[in-house]
Structure 1
Amino acid sequence: MKAALRWIACLLLAGLALELFFVVRIAAMAAIDPQSTAFQRSEAWQIATHKGSEGAWRQEWVPYAQINDSLKRAVIASEDASFIDHDGVEWEAIERARQRNARAEELAAKRMARAAARGKTAQAAPLRGGSTITQQLAKNLLLSGERTMLRKGQELVLAVLLETLLDKRRILEIYLNSVEWGEGVFGAEAAAQYYFRKPAARLSSFEAARLAVMLPSPKFYERRPNSPYLNGRASTIVARMPSADLP
C-alpha cells in the first residue's frame, strides 16, 4: 500500500513539474521567439528520415508588423472568427464540431456498407476540429500529434495558459511564424516566398486568403494548387476579411 502511494505521489509530482515547465516556457515566449515547435521537430525528423539531404526546410521569423494585415485577417476569418473575444477555448465550436463529425461518421458508415455490398471500398469521413488559433498553437508548440483525451485535455490547459501569460497580438505573431504551410514550409514569410515569390508584407488579399484556406490541410493543397475548392473558399474568405478584428 505504501509503495502504491509513493508511486501515486511520484506521478503527481511529475505532472506538477511538467505543468510548471510549460508555464515557464510560455512565460519566456513573451520576450523570446521560440526557435522551433514540437510539431516542427517531429516533421524535421520525418523529412530527414525519409528524404535525407533532399528534404527542403523553409522558415524565417518576421515581426508581427512585417506580416501583411491581409494575412492576419484572412487567418482569423478562416480559422477563428472570435479570436479577439474568447479566452483560448470556444466550447460551443468544439460541440458543433463533435456533432458534425458524428453525423459525418454515420453517413460514411452507410456509404462504406453500401460500397462493401457492391465489392468496392469507400473513404472514411474526414473529421473537422473546433480548435481556436490558441489551441492550435498550444498543440503545435508543446504537444505530440497523438489523438487522445489526455492530450486534448492538456491542449485546453495550455490554451488557457497562453491566453493568461501572453497577449493576443503575441499569440497571433507566434502562430503565424510557426504554423505549417506545406511539407517543410513553416511560417508566413516562408509560405509567401514559396507560393508567391514575395515577402509576407506584400501579400495581396486573395493570396492571403488562399494561404489561410490551406491551413487545415496544407500538404494536401500544396499538391493541388488549382483545387476549385481552394479558389472558391478563398473568395469567401476575402469577403469576410473586412469584419475580422485584429489584436
Structure 2
Amino acid sequence: MIRRIAAIAALVILVLVAIPLILTPLYALRAVHPVSTLMLADHFGFRSMQREWVDIDAIAPVMVYSVMMSEDGQFCRHDGIDWGEMRAVVEEALAGEETRGASTIPMQTVKNLFLWGGRSYVRKAIEAPLALYLDLVLSKRRIMEIYLNVVEWDRGIYGIEAAAQHYFGRSAARLTARQAALLAVTLPNPIQRNPANPGRGLNRLADRVQRMAKSSGDYVGCVKPA
C-alpha cells in the first residue's frame, strides 16, 4: 500500500514537472495564447470568465512600464529570480519576522500558468526553478506579454484587455498613464482593490508608480520593441 502511494505521488510530481517543461517552449510561439490554471478552473467549473488576448504591441506602453515598476522593478536585470530580494526574505524568515513578497513577474507567470494560489513553501520551491527555466527559454517581452494576458484583475476578469474594458470601458491600447498606474497597483490584491474607485491608499501607491513609469527610460528597455 505504501509503495503504491509513493508510486502515485512520484507520478504526480513527474507530470507536474513535465507539463511546464514541454509547454514553455511552445509558449515562445506568438500564435500560442496560454491560459492560466485559474482560467481552466473557471471554465470547467462553468463560472463566468472574460479574457481577450492582445499582443503586447496593442497594449499602451505606459501600462507595460507601470506593471513592471509596480510588480518587479528588476525585471530586465534578473534571470527570473530577484536574488537580492529573495535573500532578504529568507533572512526575515530566519529571524522570525513577517516576510514580504519577493515574487518576480516570471515567478508570478509560472504560478498562473502551471501552479496554484495561496502561500505555500512547497509551491515556492517548485515556482523558483520554473521561473528560471521560463526566463531562459522566453524573451522578457514575451514573458510580459503572457503575464499581462493571464493575470486576474477581478473575479473572472483575466488579462489587461478584459480589465481595461471592465474598469474603464476602453481598450488596453487607449489606457491613460493614471489608469495604467491604478491597474498596476491593483494586482497584489485584485479582489479587494478597485482601480475604478480607488481609496486614498491606492491613489498614493498609484502616484508613486505613475512617477516611476514616466521616468523609467532605459530601465524598461527589455520590454520595448526591438
What TM-score, normalized by structure 2, do the two folds share?
A: 0.84
How far apart, in 2, do the equivalents of 1:193 and 1:224 lie? 11
Pair 1:89-2:64 in alignment: no
Q: CA deviation at 1:195?
A: 1.0
Aligned twin of 2:18: 20
1:161 to 102, 113, 133: 133
Distance of aligned partners of 1:98 and 1:42 in 2 relative to their CA distance in 1, 3 Å threshold: farther
How far apart, in 1, do the equivalents of 2:34 and 2:82 lie? 28
How far apart, in 2, do the equivalents of 1:43 and 1:96 lie? 36
Q: CA deviation at 1:199?
A: 0.5
**1:32-43 aligned within 5 A:** 32-43=31-42
Larger radius of gyration: 1
CA deviations 1:105-137 (Å, max 9, x no partner) are 4xxxxxxxxxxxxxxxxxxxxx64110000000
Q: What amino acid is aligned across from residue 41 of structure 1 in structure 2? A: L
Distance of aligned partners of 1:74 and 1:174 in 2 relative to their CA distance in 1, 3 Å threshold: same
How far apart, in 2, do the equivalents of 1:7 and 1:185 lie? 38
Q: CA deviation at 1:147?
A: 3.1
Pair 1:206-2:205 in alignment: no
CA deviations 1:156-187 (Å, max 9, x no partner) are 01101101111111100000011111111111
Aligned alpha-carbon RMSD (Å): 2.7
More off after superposition, 155-164 vs 221-230: 221-230
Question: Secondary structure, in 3 states, of the residue corresponding to 2:193?
Answer: helix
More off after superposition, 58-67 vs 226-235: 226-235
Contact 1:64 1:173 in 2 (8 A): yes
Distance of aligned partners of 1:67 and 1:9 in 2 relative to their CA distance in 1, 3 Å threshold: same
How far apart, in 2, do the equivalents of 1:224 and 1:76 lie? 20
Q: What amino acid is aligned across from residue 29 of structure 1 in structure 2? A: Y
Pair 1:233-2:205 in alignment: yes
What TM-score, normalized by structure 1, do the two folds share?
A: 0.77
Distance of aligned partners of 1:223 and 1:17 in 2 relative to their CA distance in 1, 3 Å threshold: closer
Aligned twin of 2:72: 80
Aligned twin of 1:60: 52
Q: Which runs of 5+ in 2 are unaligned?
A: none
Question: Secondary structure, in 3 states, of the residue corresponding to 2:126?
Answer: helix
Aligned twin of 1:122: none
How far apart, in 1, do the equivalents of 2:198 and 2:16 lie? 44
Question: Secondary structure, in 3 states, of the residue corresponding to 2:220?
Answer: coil
Distance of aligned partners of 1:94 and 1:236 in 2 relative to their CA distance in 1, 3 Å threshold: same
How far apart, in 1, do the equivalents of 2:88 and 2:16 lie? 31
Distance of aligned partners of 1:23 and 1:191 in 2 relative to their CA distance in 1, 3 Å threshold: same
More off after superposition, 93-102 vs 15-24: 93-102
Distance of aligned partners of 1:142 and 1:128 in 2 relative to their CA distance in 1, 3 Å threshold: same
How far apart, in 2, do the equivalents of 1:86 and 1:177 lie? 22
Aligned twin of 1:221: 193
How many residues are treated as equivalent by the alignment? 216
Distance of aligned partners of 1:99 and 1:42 in 2 relative to their CA distance in 1, 3 Å threshold: farther
More off after superposition, 149-158 vs 96-105: 96-105
1:70 to 49, 62, 75: 62
Contact 2:167 2:195 in 1 (8 A): no
More off after superposition, 141-150 vs 64-73: 141-150
Contact 1:79 1:132 in 2 (8 A): yes
